[in-house]
Amino acid sequence: MLNICFVVAASLNNVIGKNNQLIWKIPIDLKYFKNRTYGLPIVMGRKTFDSINQKPLPGRLNIVLSKQKFHSQEYQNLYFLNHVDEVFKLCNSFDYKTLHVVGGSQIYNAFLPCCNTIFLTKVLENFEGDTFFKVPDNFSLKKMSFYPVQKGSPFPIEFQIWQKNQ
Ligand SMILES: NC(=O)c1ccc[n+]([C@@H]2O[C@H](COP(=O)([O-])OP(=O)(O)OC[C@H]3O[C@@H](n4cnc5c(N)ncnc54)[C@H](OP(=O)(O)O)[C@@H]3O)[C@@H](O)[C@H]2O)c1
């Protein structure tokens, strides 16, 4: 069975984006994201795909969910799909065991019933924004590591791992 994990960075007040962009640039978190997802499939919403200039992230199978019909011949690692079920089928056809859901908020909602692990980078400041993610109540914090302000981390952050309660 496919293991569904979320990777998300949210502020203290649960903001994840504003005007279809990320709010912060945290190099240490970008590295964490790359290490976690490299070589594995990721799925994102069409708006998030727009926010990264419609270019798939290298070294990973990129799946973009949209209700619209898109086709791309330009990139071999890019698939546009219309339904969550099609995402499962595609990952299973490649025999992947883990899928990382990388946002935004609509896509986290769509996959929430199947998610068992959340890799949350908590940015320990409040931000203004228009897109949010909050860890659901049926998840428990299993691990966290704190990084103070330093090179690579302009804000204090915490890498948290949340697991769905059995
Ligand atoms: N901090 C983080 O970790 C993080 C991560 C990712 C994104 N973000 C931020 O989040 C914001 C974008 O999030 P968002 O919630 O507005 O948009 P989104 O989830 O990225 O994309 C929404 C789009 O996905 C498609 N979609 C949604 N549910 C679907 C379903 N069940 N089946 C098929 N297609 C579906 C629709 O595309 P169509 O309209 O084409 O049909 C919808 O408009 C941006 O600010 C971005 O920077 C933050």
Kindly give the distance from the C-alpha atom of residue 108 to the centroid of ligand 1, in angstroms, as a whole number: 8
Any atom of ligand 1 within 6 Å of the Cβ of 109? no
Q: Tell me the C-alpha to C-alpha distance, in Å, between residue 35 and each of 7, 39, 106.
A: 11, 9, 24
**pLDDT at residue 162, rounded to an integer:** 98
Atom of ligand 1 at shortest range from CA of 50: 20
Closest C-alpha residue for ligand 1 atom 21: 45
Atom of ligand 1 at shortest range from CA of 44: 20
Kindly give the distance from the C-alpha atom of residue 78 to the centroid of ligand 1, in angstroms, as a whole number: 16
With respect to CATH, is domain 3-157 assigned 3.40.430.10? yes
Task: Round to whole Å and give the CA distance between 16 and 69.
Answer: 27
Closest C-alpha residue for ligand 1 atom 5: 103
Task: Round to whole Å and give the CA distance between 22 and 79.
Answer: 23
**pLDDT at residue 73, rounded to an integer:** 84
Residue 47, classed as helix, strand or coil, is: helix
Q: Spell out the domain ranges in the chain.
A: 3-157
**pLDDT at residue 22, rounded to an integer:** 96
Sheet holding 157-164, edge to edge: 78-81, 62-65, 42-45, 98-101, 3-11, 115-123, 157-164, 139-147
Atom of ligand 1 at shortest range from CA of 8: 3
Amino acid at 117: T
Any atom of ligand 1 within 6 Å of the Cβ of 22? yes
**pLDDT at residue 158, rounded to an integer:** 98
For the chain (length 166 residues), average pLDDT per consecutive 10?
Answer: 96 98 97 98 98 97 96 91 98 97 98 98 98 98 96 96 97
Closest C-alpha residue for ligand 1 atom 15: 105
Atom of ligand 1 at shortest range from CA of 18: 45
- Read off φ and ψ for residue 92, nearest 5 degrees: -65, -35
Task: Round to whole Å and give the CA distance between 10 and 142.
Answer: 17
Kindly give the distance from the C-alpha atom of residue 41 to the centroid of ligand 1, in angstroms, as a whole number: 17
> What is the torsional sign of CA 79, 85, 138, 98?
negative
